[in-house]
Amino acid sequence: MREHASERPVAHLGQVALVLQGGGALGAYQVGVFRALAEACYSPDWFAGTSIGAINAAIMAGNAPELRLARLEKFWKDISRTIPWQAPAKGPLRRAFNAWSAWQTAAFGQPGFFHWRAVSPWFLSSSTPAALSYYSAEELSRKLEEIIDLDIINNGAVRLSLGAVKVSSGEQVYFDSRTQRISHEHIMASAALPPAFPPVEIDGEWYWDGGIVSNTPLDVIIDQRPRRSTLCFMVDLFDSAGPVPRTIEDVEARHKDIIYASRSGRSIEAHRAKHDLRRAVMGLWDALPPDRQKDPHLNALAELGCTTTMHIVRLVHQTEPEELSSKDYDFSEIAIGERTAAGYRDAKCMLEDEPWLDPVPPDVGAVIHELTNKGAARAAR
């Protein structure tokens, strides 16, 4: 790893953002990534998340920098299911253990997170929140109140953006601490995945989990106004690459991975192309003679361009052979520990090279940094 001189080793690259995808129990991977970033003195100025990513982002933004990792780890310890024995590491027995663990969560809820409603929603009067979900998330609400300081989120020291969806219109929205005061309800709304959890009412509108429309809130970072050069660490929990299924369970798992990961991949490529185009617009503008730059129509076109550089550092949780389609609700402490360790390992590997510190050609507006299958960092321009 290159030596860092201060807490902000990449200040010359602009702001540092951390974008966290939704994915239930897979969110423990993001804890490991953040641990590695903290050790390397990368302190985000902007946290953005959806679903479990919103919860992780809010915990980090809602605590003093020196407490973020400890509070994040406490949250995940509190919602993990304790296992009094050592599970098999690999093979059919481990797959059976994973299935059993996920069944426990589905059947009984997850302590510290959610539980089955005492009365089935089928027997409740319509239109009430209790009639619109199978589980109650009251335990999560109490946990967030205990572990997140809203005054810290809203004091302007860092920025927090949470993705959600308006139930009435299907519109993607972002609750943003730069433009509004964030409450616990905003965090709960971003994680209100139907039909498991009920919608959350805020100012007369009902909201669901933002992952319904966009599971990775990269657009809120890239499309910011005014634009700023950004080093964006983007942590995905579903992997588009994987082996051809061999069983019906494998089919379900690959299906889920592809659905969520393909959106993320398309989003990254679209933003890369769009930002490169913005850079090209400014290149053409600079090439115009001074008298042509006075043309109001050309001035309006120039507003579409920019000279900022976006580095997107993408880390993806790699699906293990023993993981099932139910992996996003497998909250056993064993699975949580393994995912945290994987996130830490992958982030440490990326941080060894820090390719975003290398010079960027003047015509490139966005650079994507990813790990190869061999664990080496690579850049795609």
Listing DSSP states for 47-99 in one string gives EEEETHHHHHHHHHHTS-GGGHHHHHHHHHHHHSBP-SSPPPSSSHHHHHHHH
- Work out whether the CA dihedral 336, 152, 176, 145 comes out positive or negative: positive
> What was the pLDDT predicted at 195?
92
Read off the pLDDT of residues 152-174 as tens digits, 9 standing for 90 and up: 999 999 999 999 999 999 999 99
Question: Which of 239-243's residues contact partners 24+ apart within 8 Å by CB, and which partners?
Answer: 239/316, 239/317, 239/318, 239/319, 240/264, 240/265, 242/319
Question: Are 45 and 16 a contacting pair, CB within 8 Å?
Answer: yes
Question: Peptide bond preceding 296: is omega within 30 degrees of 0, i.e. cis?
Answer: no
Closest CA to 314 of 221, 193, 242: 221
Greatest Cα-to-Cα distance within the chain, rounded to the nearest angstrom: 77
**Reported confidence tier of residue 224, pLDDT bands at 50, 70, 90:** confident
Rounded distance between C-alpha atoms, residue 287 and residue 148, angstroms: 50
Tokens representing residue 134 in the block: 């199978």
Listing DSSP states for 162-174 in one string gives EEEEETTT--EEE
- Choose the most confident range, by mean pLDDT, from 83-97, 158-172, 266-280, 303-317: 158-172
Question: Peptide bond preceding 44: is omega within 30 degrees of 0, i.e. cis?
Answer: no
> What was the pLDDT predicted at 6?
47
> What was the pLDDT predicted at 276?
86
Whether the per-residue pLDDT at 128 is higher than 80: the answer is: no
